[in-house]
């Protein structure tokens, strides 16, 4: 099935909880209301026409006015992909977890929490995965400022060119 | 520099320091501390073609049994604390070779927020081996330079356990 | 003995350990020698490659993609190249595609050799490791003649590959393939059917097909569980439709379907298939340019795309968002090792501590793929 047909199917079933179907090149996507993402995904998982059996990728992207969580769904049986998006506000972004449908969401949502700061409601074990436990801040946000030191190790390294130029003068 | 003189009666004359240093440099046991890409080149250096076992260097798994730590790969801030702990666990006399650009100065990851720019921020380094990753021949040369450095150390005349280098 | 009081121990299999395939840390909750659970702790090699992409631009990101998976760097190069080409609508010339496939399949053989060798080393046999390294050195020689580097190649560019095949390289490569096929049989005789090896690996860490798809396990791990899925055949890209090759699937003949022995054998059989593809590619390579004309500061139109490449460790997904400037807005790599690590707490229940080492080796995880 073409991705646009999948989005039309979802729109028929869920009506105005589908906010937008964007027919962009090269990959079209579909924006869903954050409160109904779990129902939509459960429907796509169970319906035999779509039969989405794997969550291939889950990403968080930080735009200036919102944070988006992008889901790439894939079906091994029918070999089609669907791209769903959820738009969240930048203060306290929060969406329900997809862990109960596809277990691969567990670690991917931990990574999005760690690097972008999205809170996933209902997640069994939401804690930092890639950064150290006591790190402050969410690094993949566009307004992230690097700290000057971590446990006594300074993060600033002067380029040797600076010293060369200073020595020449 | 000739270490040994031979007389027809097969008597060897040398200085005690040089004899002890020669024994120490011919059996440097290194700790397997491969972190990233340089770890594969470290494995190749211990492998069949560029074999550093012929210099006496044998890989050890534990820090307590090794006298050389080859930091091969990028050091992240999360790992830096553990690296310092492992260095403190090594018994004296201990040496550090920093292998590759990432552990020399941060390498191509200097833009990163989670990388410690260079292992010399937390450890004293003896030999820096440049490369990304350095060829096995380059690492072998680094080891030979370390052996040269070891030969210059005064062992018997040192004071209170600290290593003193010849002038 | 039934009055012996046992307690649960918490052990740390720390980031520095000779058999964790890079810096991984496991917290083991064990009751004597048998584990209740092994909790992985990752992030010791998180080098923020995804954020660096936003600073260096499209062409400049190519060396960083090598470091995402340094053992099979050609596939990451190819994935990034394909993603940028899809965004900027660039077409790769045919000879360039053939060069990409040749370099990639040699890299697949090298990666599987290293995986088989370290698997032997983790079980306790040191000789297969040295045999594997010897063959890998010969492949490194070939690739060094091709692109100048032994490990992190940076061979592919957006729009093709950087350099054409040197004169005389084709004959050397074909001679190497003739030399390599009997070596693979010798390797099998040495270790694969050894009784101790089989007993250490059979029935350890069984992944069923439903679990594999649900947890998004990909690549040889998925094929060992009985699912016949290979991106090169099922969602074909590049010039793979021109070649005839088979996709090996686990049979479960040494134990259960989807155990560690199946994963190991799938990799050995995949090497044979790669040799087939290489012979066909080297004989049928067309003449022509290898690199399309691409502007120096590439500014693709705003949009996003997803690409999937069959790397040595499985299906690697690249998701790139572009906003019309010369720097990508967001780059995301979804790798097979990340998902495989998420499955370890479930697989490790009831295993012994030594079996955990065999399990990690059979899943062929590599630390920078998990942490990026």
Tens-place pLDDT, residues A138-159? 888 888 888 888 887 877 777 6
Name chain B contacts of A131, Cβ cutoff 8 Å: 78, 114
Whether pLDDT at B103 is above 80: yes
- Which of A39, A42, A44 lies closest to A7, judged by CA? A44
CA-to-CA dists, residue A149 to A67, B80, C143, C204, C311, angstroms: 28, 13, 41, 44, 37
Joined together, the tokens standing for residue A89 give 């506000």
Smallest CA–CA distance from B116 into chain A, residue: A155
Interface of A with B in 88-147 (CB under 8 A): 131-132, 139, 144, 146
Give the separation between CA A134 and CA A117, rounded to whole angstroms: 14
What does DSSP say about strands A149-150 and A153-154: parallel, antiparallel, or unpaired? Answer: antiparallel
Give the separation between CA B60 and CA B75, rounded to whole angstroms: 20
Confidence at residue B106, expressed as pLDDT on a 0 to 100 scale: 85
User: Do C318 and C79 meet the contact criterion of CB atoms below 8 Å apart?
Assistant: yes
Confidence at residue B7, expressed as pLDDT on a 0 to 100 scale: 59
- Which of A143, A142, A129 lies closest to A61, judged by CA? A142
User: Do C217 and C343 meet the contact criterion of CB atoms below 8 Å apart?
Assistant: yes
| Long-range contacts, stretch C245-251, CB < 8 angstroms, 24+ apart | C245/C273, C245/C276, C245/C277, C246/C273, C247/C223, C247/C273, C248/C223, C248/C273, C249/C223, C249/C224, C250/C223, C250/C224, C250/C225, C250/C226
CA-to-CA dists, residue A29 to A21, A86, C191, angstroms: 6, 11, 49
CA distance C16 to chain B (A): 7
Q: Read off φ and ψ for residue C316, nearest 5 degrees.
A: -105, 125
Name chain A contacts of C303, Cβ cutoff 8 Å: 24-27
Confidence at residue C102, expressed as pLDDT on a 0 to 100 scale: 93
User: Do B73 and B139 meet the contact criterion of CB atoms below 8 Å apart?
Assistant: no
The fold for domain A3-168 equals Beta Polymerase; domain 2 (3.30.460)
Confidence at residue A18, expressed as pLDDT on a 0 to 100 scale: 82
User: Do C19 and C25 meet the contact criterion of CB atoms below 8 Å apart?
Assistant: no
**DSSP-assigned letters across all residues of C47-109:** --HHHHHHHHHHHHTHHHHHHHSGGGHHHHHHHHHHHHHHHHT----HHHHHHHHHHHHHHHH
Confidence at residue B164, expressed as pLDDT on a 0 to 100 scale: 47
Tally the domains of chain C.
Answer: 1
The answer to the question of residue B70 being in a domain is yes
Enclosing domain of residue C338: 49-371
The phi-psi region of residue C49 (left if phi > 0; otherwise alpha if psi is between -120 and 50; otherwise beta) is: alpha
Confidence at residue B1, expressed as pLDDT on a 0 to 100 scale: 42
Instruction: List the end-to-end C-alpha distance of chain C, in Å, as a whole number.
Output: 48
Name chain C contacts of B32, Cβ cutoff 8 Å: 16, 18
Band the pLDDT of B159: cuts 50, 70, 90: low
Confidence at residue C1, expressed as pLDDT on a 0 to 100 scale: 55
- Which of B154, B147, B102 lies closest to B126, judged by CA? B147
- Which of A122, A83, A118 lies closest to A100, judged by CA? A122
Confidence at residue A160, expressed as pLDDT on a 0 to 100 scale: 64
What does DSSP say about strands C330-334 and B5-6: parallel, antiparallel, or unpaired? Answer: unpaired
Give the separation between CA C104 and CA C312, rounded to whole angstroms: 9
**Residues whose CB is less than 8 angstroms from the CB of residue B149 and which lie 6 or more positions away in sequence, other chains included:** B126, B127
Name chain A contacts of B117, Cβ cutoff 8 Å: 155-157
CA distance A80 to chain B (A): 36
Name chain C contacts of B116, Cβ cutoff 8 Å: none
Contact B121 A153 (CB under 8 A): yes
Enclosing domain of residue B45: 25-165
The answer to the question of residue C287 being in a domain is yes
Give the separation between CA C205 and CA C219, rounded to whole angstroms: 16
Residue A67's beta-bridge partner residues? A62, A88
Confidence at residue A163, expressed as pLDDT on a 0 to 100 scale: 65
Number of neighbouring beta carbons within 10 Å of residue A85: 19
Mean pLDDT by 10 residues, chain C (372 residues): 77 81 88 88 90 89 90 92 91 92 93 91 87 92 90 90 91 93 88 87 89 90 90 88 90 86 91 92 90 88 90 90 89 90 89 89 89 84
Give the separation between CA A119 and CA A121, rounded to whole angstroms: 6
Confidence at residue B166, expressed as pLDDT on a 0 to 100 scale: 41
User: What residue ranges do the domains of chain A occupy?
Assistant: 3-168
Looking at the complex, does the CB of residue A139 fall below 8 Å from at least one CB of chain C? yes
Whether pLDDT at B160 is above 60: no
Smallest CA–CA distance from A58 into chain C, residue: C334
Tally the domains of chain B.
Answer: 1
**Averaged pLDDT, B122-138:** 92
Name chain B contacts of C63, Cβ cutoff 8 Å: 108
Among A46, A51, A55, A57, pick the best mutation site for testing chain C contact (most C Cβ within 10 A): A57
Contact A154 B118 (CB under 8 A): no
Nearest by CB: A153 against B77, B105, B110? B77
Confidence at residue C273, expressed as pLDDT on a 0 to 100 scale: 92
Contact C214 A107 (CB under 8 A): no
Q: Coil, helix or strand for A46?
A: helix
pLDDT tens-digit map of A2-34: 888 888 888 888 888 888 888 877 788 889 888
What does DSSP say about strands C303-311 and C160-161: parallel, antiparallel, or unpaired? Answer: unpaired
Q: Cα A80–A94–A113 angle (5° rounding)?
A: 80
Confidence at residue C250, expressed as pLDDT on a 0 to 100 scale: 87
Confidence at residue C254, expressed as pLDDT on a 0 to 100 scale: 84
Contact B113 C150 (CB under 8 A): no
ipTM: 0.90
Smallest CA–CA distance from A137 into chain B, residue: B113
**Residues whose CB is less than 8 angstroms from the CB of residue C118 and which lie 6 or more positions away in sequence, other chains included:** C19, C21, C129, C361
Number of neighbouring beta carbons within 10 Å of residue C325: 12
Smallest CA–CA distance from C333 into chain A, residue: A57
What is the CATH classification number for the domain harbouring B92? 3.40.50.12280
Q: Coil, helix or strand for A131?
A: coil
Among C13, C15, C16, pick the best mutation site for testing chain B contact (most B Cβ within 10 A): C16
CA distance A141 to chain B (A): 12
Whether pLDDT at A50 is above 90: no
Name chain C contacts of B31, Cβ cutoff 8 Å: 16
Looking at the complex, does the CB of residue C48 fall below 8 Å from at least one CB of chain B? yes
**Averaged pLDDT, A91-111:** 90
The residue written with tokens 């022509």 in the block is: C288
CA C9, chain centre distance (Å): 34
- The whole-model pTM stands at 0.90
Joined together, the tokens standing for residue A21 give 């179907």
**Binding-site residues on chain B for chain C (CB distance < 8 A):** 31-37, 39-41, 43-44, 47-49, 59, 61, 63, 73-74, 76, 78-79, 82, 86, 108-109, 111-115, 132-133, 135
Band the pLDDT of B71: cuts 50, 70, 90: very high
Looking at the complex, does the CB of residue C144 fall below 8 Å from at least one CB of chain B? no
Whether pLDDT at B114 is above 70: yes
What is the CATH classification number for the domain harbouring C216? 1.10.645.10
Which helix (H) or strand (E) element contains residue C305?
strand C303-311
Smallest CA–CA distance from C46 into chain A, residue: A130
Smallest CA–CA distance from C111 into chain B, residue: B40
Confidence at residue C20, expressed as pLDDT on a 0 to 100 scale: 64
Give the separation between CA B155 and CA B25, rounded to whole angstroms: 12
| Long-range contacts, stretch C34-38, CB < 8 angstroms, 24+ apart | C34/C350, C34/C351, C34/C352, C35/C348, C35/C349, C35/C350, C35/C351, C35/C352, C35/C353, C35/C356, C36/C8, C36/C349, C37/C345, C37/C348, C37/C349, C38/C13, C38/C344, C38/C345, C38/C348, C38/C351, C38/C356
Confidence at residue C8, expressed as pLDDT on a 0 to 100 scale: 86
Name all chains with 3 or more CB-CB pairs below 8 Å to chain A: B, C
Band the pLDDT of B34: cuts 50, 70, 90: confident
Q: Coil, helix or strand for A163?
A: helix
């Amino acid at each position: 099935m073409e991705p646009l047909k999948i989005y039309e199917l979802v729109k028929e079933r869920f009506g105005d909880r589908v906010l937008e179907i964007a027919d962009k090149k090269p990959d079209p996507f579909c924006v869903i209301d954050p409160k109904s993402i779990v129902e939509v995904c459960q429907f796509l998982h169970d319906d035999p026409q779509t039969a989405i059996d794997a969550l291939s990728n889950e990403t968080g992207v930080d735009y200036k006015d919102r944070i988006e969580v992008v889901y790439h769904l894939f079906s091994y049986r029918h070999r089609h992909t669907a791209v769903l998006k959820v738009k969240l506000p930048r203060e306290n972004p929060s969406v329900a977890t997809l862990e109960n449908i596809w277990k691969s969401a567990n670690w991917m949502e931990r990574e999005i929490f760690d690097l972008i700061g999205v809170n996933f409601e209902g997640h069994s074990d939401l804690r930092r995965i890639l950064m150290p436990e006591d790190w402050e801040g969410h690094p993949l946000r566009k307004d992230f400022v690097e700290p000057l030191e971590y446990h006594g190790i300074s993060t600033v390294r002067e380029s040797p060119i600076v010293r060369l130029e200073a020595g020449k003068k | 520099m000739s270490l040994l003189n031979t007389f027809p009666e097969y008597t060897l004359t040398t200085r005690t320091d040089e004899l002890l240093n020669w024994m120490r440099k011919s059996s440097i046991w290194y700790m397997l501390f491969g972190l990233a890409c340089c770890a594969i080149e470290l494995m190749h250096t211990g492998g069949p073609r560029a074999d550093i076992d012929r210099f006496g260097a044998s890989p050890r798994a534990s820090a307590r049994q090794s006298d050389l730590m080859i930091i091969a790969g990028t050091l992240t801030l999360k790992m830096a604390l553990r690296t310092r702990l492992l260095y403190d666990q090594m018994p004296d006399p201990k040496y550090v070779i920093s292998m590759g650009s990432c552990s020399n100065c941060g390498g191509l990851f200097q833009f990163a927020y989670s990388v410690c720019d260079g292992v010399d921020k937390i450890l004293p380094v003896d030999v820096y081996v440049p490369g990304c990753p350095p060829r096995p021949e380059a690492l072998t040369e680094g080891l030979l330079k370390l052996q040269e450095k070891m030969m210059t150390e005064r062992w018997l005349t040192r004071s209170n356990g600290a290593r003193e280098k010849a002038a | 003995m039934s009055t012996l009081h046992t307690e649960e121990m918490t052990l740390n299999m720390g980031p520095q350990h000779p058999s964790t395939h890079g810096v991984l840390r496991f917290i083991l909750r064990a009751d004597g020698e048998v584990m209740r659970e092994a909790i992985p702790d990752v992030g010791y090699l998180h080098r923020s490659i995804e954020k660096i992409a936003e600073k260096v631009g499209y062409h400049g990101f190519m060396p960083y993609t090598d470091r995402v998976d340094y053992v099979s760097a050609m596939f990451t190069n190819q994935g990034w190249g394909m993603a940028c080409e899809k965004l900027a609508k660039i077409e790769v010339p045919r000879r360039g595609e053939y060069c990409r496939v040749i370099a990639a399949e040699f890299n697949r053989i090298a990666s599987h050799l290293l995986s088989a060798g370290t698997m032997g080393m983790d079980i306790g046999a040191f000789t297969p490791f040295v045999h594997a390294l010897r063959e890998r050195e010969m492949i490194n020689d070939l690739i060094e003649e091709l692109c100048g580097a032994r490990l992190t190649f940076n061979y592919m560019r957006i729009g093709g590959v950087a350099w054409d095949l040197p004169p005389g390289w084709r004959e050397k490569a074909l001679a190497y393939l003739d030399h390599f096929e009997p070596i693979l049989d010798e390797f099998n005789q040495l270790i694969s059917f050894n009784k101790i090896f089989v007993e250490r690996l059979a029935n350890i860490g069984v992944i069923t097909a439903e679990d594999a798809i649900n947890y998004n396990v990909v690549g040889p791990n998925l094929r060992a569980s009985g699912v016949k899925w290979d991106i090169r055949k099922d969602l074909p890209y590049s010039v793979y439709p021109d070649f005839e090759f088979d996709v090996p699937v686990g049979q479960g003949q040494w134990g259960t379907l989807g155990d560690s022995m199946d994963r190991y054998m799938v990799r050995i059989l995949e090497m044979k298939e790669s040799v087939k593809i290489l012979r066909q590619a080297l004989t049928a390579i067309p003449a022509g340019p290898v690199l399309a004309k691409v502007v120096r500061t590439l500014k693709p139109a705003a949009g996003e795309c997803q690409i999937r490449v069959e790397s040595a460790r499985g299906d690697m997904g690249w998701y790139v968002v572009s906003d019309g400037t010369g720097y990508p807005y967001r780059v995301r790599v979804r790798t097979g090792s990340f998902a495989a690590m998420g499955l370890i707490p479930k697989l490790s229940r009831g295993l012994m501590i030594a079996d955990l080492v065999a399990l990690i080796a059979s899943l062929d995880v590599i630390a920078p793929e998990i942490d990026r």
